[in-house]
Amino acid sequence: MLVFLLLRLTPGDPAAIMAGDAATTEQIERIRAGLGLDRPIVVQFGIWLGRVLSGDLGESFYFRIKVTTLIAQRLEPTFALAALTIFIAVLVSIPLGVMAAWRHGGWFDRALMGFSVLGFSVPVFVLAYLLIWLVSLQLGWLPVQGYARLCRQSRSR
């Protein structure tokens, strides 16, 4: 309900934006009618809720394809990135935590604590740019952008 209200009650007319600057009033009204924006907000909510509950999230105004298709296209990269992140975090944090606990109060423990505080203090976007610079541009281990599947599917002929 919050998403619906944010989309409907924010200033601006989606139909006018879609029609462009050179659109006539009639063209904007046709788009508004096609989108159902000329109906009362309660009716709009009912239609929207029915579609969302049936799995129809609508069509992207920018890409002109179904939103569910866009989400499906981005699921694999998202899950791969999340899994790799968790794997690396566990692989690095457990040995470092054990070493810091083993020498509690020592120089390694204090250095690791300082590094951790620094890591939490630096904004994520700054850290991301630094890692892109290091891993992609300086070391050349990964591309700067894009996604390549980890496991290629064989195509049957």
User: Which whole-number Å values give the CA distances from 125 to 45, 118, 130, 146, in the listed order?
Assistant: 36, 14, 9, 18
Q: What is the pLDDT of residue 157?
A: 47
Mean pLDDT value across residues 20-40? 87
**40, 73 Cβ separation under 8 angstroms:** no
**Greatest pairwise CA separation for the chain in angstroms:** 75
Q: What is the pLDDT of residue 15?
A: 83
Which of 4-18, 59-73, 104-118, 139-153 has the least mean pLDDT?
139-153
Tens-digit pLDDT profile for residues 73-129: 899 889 988 998 899 999 999 999 999 999 898 999 999 999 889 888 999 999 899
Tens-digit pLDDT profile for residues 46-82: 988 999 899 888 888 778 899 999 999 899 889 988 9
**58, 51 Cβ separation under 8 angstroms:** yes
**89, 97 Cβ separation under 8 angstroms:** no
DSSP symbols for 27-60 = HHHHHHHHHTTTS-HHHHHHHHHHHHHTT---B-
Using CA atoms, how far apart are residues 60 and 74, in angstroms rounded to an integer? 14
Q: What is the pLDDT of residue 59?
A: 84
Structural domain boundaries in the chain: 2-56, 68-138
